[in-house]
Structures are given as C-alpha cells and as structure tokens.
C-alpha cells in the first residue's frame, strides 16, 4: 500500500509558447509571447509590438518541441509519465483569433502530439490558453478588455473539444487565470497593452480594464465548460490558478488583516467565481475602493452558475509574507512578490522555497472548494552545469521536488483529494517571466542558451532517473540515493 492512491497521476507540464518554437510555420499567427524579447532577472523583457529584425525573441525557436515532440514524449514515457500537461497555441488553430474556419495544419499537429501521448499511455491534460493568445486580438481589441473576446475564445475551445473528443479527458480553460488580478498579468494573461507600455515588468496598468477583462474570461470559461460538457459529458474541465501562499509577517492584527485581504483578491477571487459560480462577497468593497466598475450583461451571473469547473488546479513555487508596514523589504516572486520570510531560503531568482506551504495550501484549498485538486506546476528554476563526462548533477532540484512531494503525501494523509502532480518545465524551456533559457526546470536538459545558440540536443539529468524511481514507487522512494 502506498500513501498516494493507485490512480494518482505523475507527469510534467509545459506550455506551447515556451517550448514549441516554429512560431510562423504551417500557418501559425503571431501570439503575444512572440513579440516579447529575451530578458533576465535584472533586465525586463521588452514588448516590441512589431517584430524587429535584429532582435532575439526566445519563443520563435524555443526548444523546437514542434519538430522534436516524438523524441521528447518518448523521454517522458521513459520516466514513466502517466499524464502530460501541455497547451495548445491558439494561433496555430486561429492565427488571428478572428478567422471563421480553423487552420487544419494546426489541428493536425496536436492530433499527432495527442496520439503520441496515447501511444505511450500518457493522459493528455490540455491548457486551452496559456499566455499565448493571438497578438492580433491585442491590436484590434486591446485583448480581453473587449467583450468580443468571449465568442472568439468559445469558438476556439469548441473546435478543440470537438476535434479531440474520445482522446482527451482533462482540460484547463486558462492558465493561472488569477494572474489577471496583478499588473503583470495585464499583458501576459489578458493581452491588454496600454499605450506607453514597453517593458513587460513595468506595464502601464489600468485595473479597471484588467478586472473587466477577467470578467470576460470568467464568462468565456463558463461557456466553454458548458459547451465542453455538452460535446462530451466525460470531459473534466478545470480551473488553474497561480498560488501565492501568503503568511502574515507578524501576529500583529494589522498584518493578519492585510494578508487576508491580499489572499482574497489574489488567491481566491478567481477560484471562488469558477468553482462556486458567483462573485464573492468581499469583491464589492475592493472594487469600490479601487474605482472599478465591471460591466455585465443580464445573463452573465446565470452563465457563471451554469459553467462551474469540475476540478481545481494550481501552480505552486513559493510562499511570501505580507505586512501592513510599508518599510519592510520585498522579496521577488514570478509575478507576485511579497515580504521576506526569515525562516525560508530562496532560489537564485529570489523565489522563497517552502515545501510545508504546499501541505498548508492543499488543506486550505480542499477545505474551501471540496473538489478534486491537482498540482499542475511546481519546480526549481536553477542554472545547471554539464560536467565533462556529460552528466548533469542537479541534486538541488531533486531536493526541492523531494521535499514538496513529501508534503503532498502529508496532505493526502490529512485527507485531501489530490489527483495528480505535473512539475513545471519537465523538459528545459524558456522562462515565462524573464525569457531566459538558463533558468532551467527540467528533468531533461536541452542544449539551448540565452543568445539563441545550442544544438538543441536532449540529455537526461540526474533528476530524470530519480523521478523515474519516484513514479515507479508511486512516491514511496524519494531519497536522493535512489537516482541511478
Ligand atoms: C508559471 C507559468 O507562472 O510559472 C509558467 O504558468 C512559467 O508559464 C512558470 O514558466 C515558471 O515561471 P518562470 O518565470 O520561471 O518561467
């Protein structure tokens, strides 16, 4: 008997714009990530609006998954993957988002990717929109700020639901939908590009547009859930959120209240809407105090009720502290940030490592939503060195993952209904926040570098063999010595 249930699914996760490359092949249109240059922890990516000739755009080749997916999926199968979370590039199916008919070549590509997964008994888990909407929709509508996006998205989602029926069971409507509650999510997730914005990390922010955009995404997601269930009642369609676990920096009641307020808006607002099918009570005050007025149509609230999700998923990398004291130092985080926690160490990119926070979070979320959960992203972004003998000894990554899996098991012992674990960037890929390659997450190393050089050769790291053992033992064998 293992602690995790026998049908627990182990695997990994990627997103199209961060791994596929082939940005303009076979009819693909330009996505919002295709106009983002490379950057780093210190220097923001630029959003260029036009493709500049001598500028390096990491998504254009990425790791060339588009041409190498067979080799990559075979390596995942060798690790024992039971599930593979990937996204479909909207721009391969509807290049500008506005075409009447889908692009057949795009649909065929995903036919092949899905068939390749099934050939290896790997369950596809598909994110319909992962930070890669058509840039043409930004140009024409300022992204999700416009209500027109709802129908365009639903048309796209329905196309996928019909095409891949009988082969795919698990879907996620939007990656990290709650990133739209934060300024960086404006362009990243909602495709909103206000005049004057040039830098990805310093966008000209209009909360009114972001929350209006989120409302449109909620409606689109709910309509997609309804349509999906109609097309195939066996479809499981879920919510996906960036989990920014927050702790009060001290037990000062001011810190406690500040933490609760932040938690409600950043962590739970979107989940509450998508799981419970209604706007939560606390949002009215937030909207009032921030002068946000969300326009709704008459049927919208009913649509939300009718299109609630089947399961809840999230990414978990770190936790942060919150304080009411403006003089405290801030720590970094993918798009979140917060105040430093003196009990935690940080990654080289300043993300605070907190395995126990995962157990705490799983308990909290299960208590709040009472539906099955999946951890669909987790992992350590780190620099890897290739030794002279060609090996890559990523003990630090093994240690990070081991400690998080231990806490997942504790949460399952606590009674949480946890269905799957798909660590992020199971194969090295382009970083979403910085555009770097050197921030690596993979079990599989890819010879590709920040200047665009590299042979694209794939190589298993030590963590590859370690994870193989973890999967084989259903999470029982976690020790580092168990790597081969
Ligand atoms: C999540 C995103 O926020 O974090 C991924 O869903 C992203 O797309 C991942 O890659 C890790 O962040 P980063 O910035 O290190 O790539």
Say how far apart CA 117 and CA 422 lie, in whole Å: 15
Tell me how far apart the terminal alpha carbons of the chain are, to the nearest angstrom: 24
Catalytic residue chosen out of the listed positions 61, 123, 258, 377: 377
For residue 333, name the pLDDT band (cuts at 50, 70, 90): low
Q: Is the pTM of this model over 0.85?
A: yes
Between the CA of 76 and the centroid of ligand 1 the distance, in Å, is 20
Chain mean position to CA 223:
21
What's the pLDDT score for residue 178? 98
> Which residues touch 284 (CB under 8 Å, ≥6 apart)?
none
Q: Helix, strand, or coil here: 262?
A: helix
Q: Which two tokens stand for residue 170?
A: 């698990």
Give residue 15 CA to ligand 1 midpoint distance, Å: 9
Q: Is the pLDDT of residue 335 over 80?
A: no
Residue 346 forms beta bridges with which residues?
352
pLDDT at residue 39 greater than cutoff 70: yes
Q: Is residue 176 flagged as an active site residue?
A: yes
DSSP string, 414-462: HT--EEEE--BTSB----TTT--SSSB--SEEE---TTS-S---EEE-H
pLDDT tens-digit profile of 358-405?
999 999 999 999 999 999 999 999 999 999 999 999 999 999 999 999
Which residue's alpha carbon is at the smallest distance from atom 8 of ligand 1?
Answer: 432
CB 456 within 8 A of CB 444: no
pLDDT at 336 over 80: no
Instruction: Give the helix/strand (H/E) hosting 377.
Output: strand 373-377
User: Which atom of ligand 1 approaches the CA of 433 most closely?
Assistant: 14
Annotated catalytic residue: which of 176, 258, 410, 436? 176
In this prediction, residue 295 has a pLDDT band, given cuts at 50, 70 and 90, of: very high
In tens, the pLDDT along 250-267 reads 999 999 999 999 999 999
Residue nearest to atom 16 of ligand 1 (CA): 431
What does the alpha-carbon distance between residue 38 and residue 47 come to, in Å, rounded to a whole number?
Answer: 10
Pocket of ligand 1 (CB under 6 A): 15, 18, 131, 175-176, 242, 315, 334, 377, 381, 424, 431-434, 439
**Look-up of token digits 């690596």:** 440
Q: Give the other-Cβ count within 10 Å of 195's Cβ.
A: 6
Residue pointed to by tokens 């009819």: 27
Q: How far is CA 313 from CA 162, 261, 310, in A?
A: 23, 22, 10
Residue 25 a catalytic site member: no
Looking at 352-394, list the stretches that DSSP marks H as alpha helix, in order from N- to C-terminal side: 355-369
Query: Is the Cα torsion angle 394, 398, 399, 400 positive or negative in sign?
Result: positive
Q: Output the six-digit token pair for 146.
A: 């416009």
Say which DSSP state 382 is in.
Answer: B
Distance CA 235, CA 169 (A): 5
Q: What is the pLDDT of residue 110?
A: 99
Domain residue ranges of the chain, discontinuous segments joined by +: 9-472
Which residues have CB under 8 Å from 464's CB, separation 6+?
75, 79, 443, 444
pLDDT cut 70: percent of the chain above it = 98
Confidence grade of residue 318 (pLDDT, cut at 50, 70, 90): very high
Q: Which two tokens stand for residue 97?
A: 């988002």
pLDDT in tens, 278-292: 999 999 999 999 999
CB contact burial 170-182 (16+ within 10 A = b; e otherwise): bbbbbbbbbbbbb
Q: Band of the pLDDT at 482, cuts 50, 70, 90?
A: low
Residue 329 pLDDT level (bands cut at 50, 70, 90): low
**Mean pLDDT over each residue of the chain, to the nearest integer:** 96
More confidently predicted of 174 and 482: 174
Could you tell which of 353, 424, 425, 438 is best to mutate to test the pocket of ligand 1, judged by most ligand atoms within 8 Å of the CB?
424
Q: How far is the CA of 147 from the centre of ligand 1 (A)?
A: 27
Q: What is the mean pLDDT of residues 441-454?
A: 97
Tell me: pLDDT of 337 over 80: no
Q: Which atom, in ligand 1's list, is nearest to the CA of 176?
A: 6
446 pLDDT above the threshold of 80: yes
Task: State the pLDDT confidence band at 41, using cuts at 50, 70 and 90.
Answer: confident
pLDDT for residue 299: 98
How many residues in the chain?
Answer: 484
Quick check: 457 pLDDT over 60?
yes
**Dihedral angle at the C-alpha atoms of 92, 93, 97, 99, nearest 10 degrees?**
120
Tell me the per-residue pLDDT of 101-146, one tens digit each, with 9 for 90 and over.
Answer: 999 999 999 999 999 999 999 999 999 999 999 999 999 999 999 9
> Topology of domain 9-472, per CATH?
TIM Barrel (3.20.20)
Residue-level pLDDT at 400 = 98
At 225 the pLDDT is 98
Query: What percent of the chain has a predicted confidence (pLDDT) above 90?
Result: 95
- Angstrom distance (rounded) from CA 210 to CA 185: 8
Contact 465, 75 (CB under 8 A): no
Q: What is the pLDDT of residue 480?
A: 76
Triad 342, 347, 349: Cα angle to 5°? 110
Dump pLDDT digits (tens) for 371-384: 999 999 999 999 99
- pLDDT higher than threshold 60 for residue 208: yes
């Amino acid at each position: 008997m293992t602690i995790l249930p026998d049908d627990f699914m182990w695997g990994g996760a990627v997103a199209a714009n961060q791994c596929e490359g082939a940005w303009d092949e076979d009819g693909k249109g330009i996505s919002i990530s295709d106009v983002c240059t490379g950057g780093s922890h210190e220097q923001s990516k630029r959003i260029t609006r036009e493709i500049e000739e001598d500028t390096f755009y990491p998504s254009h080749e990425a790791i060339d998954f588009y041409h190498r997916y067979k080799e990559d999926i075979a390596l995942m199968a060798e690790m024992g993957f039971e599930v593979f979370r990937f996204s479909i590039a909207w721009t391969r199916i509807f290049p500008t988002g506005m075409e009447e008919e889908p692009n057949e070549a795009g649909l065929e590509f995903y036919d092949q990717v899905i068939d390749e997964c099934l050939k290896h008994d790997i369950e596809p888990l598909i994110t319909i929109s992962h930070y890669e909407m058509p840039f043409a929709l930004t140009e024409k509508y300022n992204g999700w700020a416009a209500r027109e996006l709802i129908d365009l998205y639903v048309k796209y989602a329905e196309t996928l639901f019909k095409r891949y029926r009988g082969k795919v069971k698990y879907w996620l409507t939007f990656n990290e939908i709650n990133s739209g509650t934060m300024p960086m999510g404006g362009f990243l997730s909602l495709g909103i590009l206000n005049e004057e914005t040039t830098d990805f990390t310093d966008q000209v922010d209009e909360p009114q547009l972001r929350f209006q955009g989120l409302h449109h995404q909620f409606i689109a997601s709910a309509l997609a859930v309804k349509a999906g269930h109609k097309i195939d009642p066996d479809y499981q369609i879920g919510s996906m959120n960036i989990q920014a676990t927050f702790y009060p920096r001290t037990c000062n009641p001011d810190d406690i209240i500040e933490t609760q307020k932040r938690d409600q808006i950043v962590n739970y607002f979107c989940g509450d809407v998508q799981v419970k099918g209604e706007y939560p009570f606390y949002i009215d005050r937030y909207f009032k105090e921030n002068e946000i007025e969300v326009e709704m149509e008459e049927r919208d609230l009913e649509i939300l009720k009718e299109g609630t999700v089947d399961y809840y998923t999230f990414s978990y990398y770190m936790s942060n502290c919150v304080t009411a004291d403006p003089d405290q130092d801030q720590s970094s985080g993918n798009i979140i940030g917060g105040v430093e926690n003196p009990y935690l160490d940080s990654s080289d990119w300043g993300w605070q490592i907190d395995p126990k926070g995962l157990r705490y979070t799983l308990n909290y979320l299960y208590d709040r939503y009472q539906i099955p959960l999946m951890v669909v992203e987790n992992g350590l972004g780190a620099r890897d060195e290739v030794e002279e003998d060609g090996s890559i000894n990523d003990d630090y990554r093994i240690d990070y993952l081991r400690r998080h899996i231990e806490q997942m098991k504790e949460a399952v012992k606590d009674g949480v209904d946890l269905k799957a674990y798909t660590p992020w960037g199971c194969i090295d890929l382009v970083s979403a926040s910085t555009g770097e390659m050197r921030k690596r997450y993979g079990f599989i190393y890819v010879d590709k570098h920040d200047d665009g050089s590299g042979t694209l050769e794939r190589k298993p790291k030590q963590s590859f063999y370690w994870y193989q053992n973890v999967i084989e033992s259903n999470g029982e064998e976690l020790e580092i010595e168990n790597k081969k």
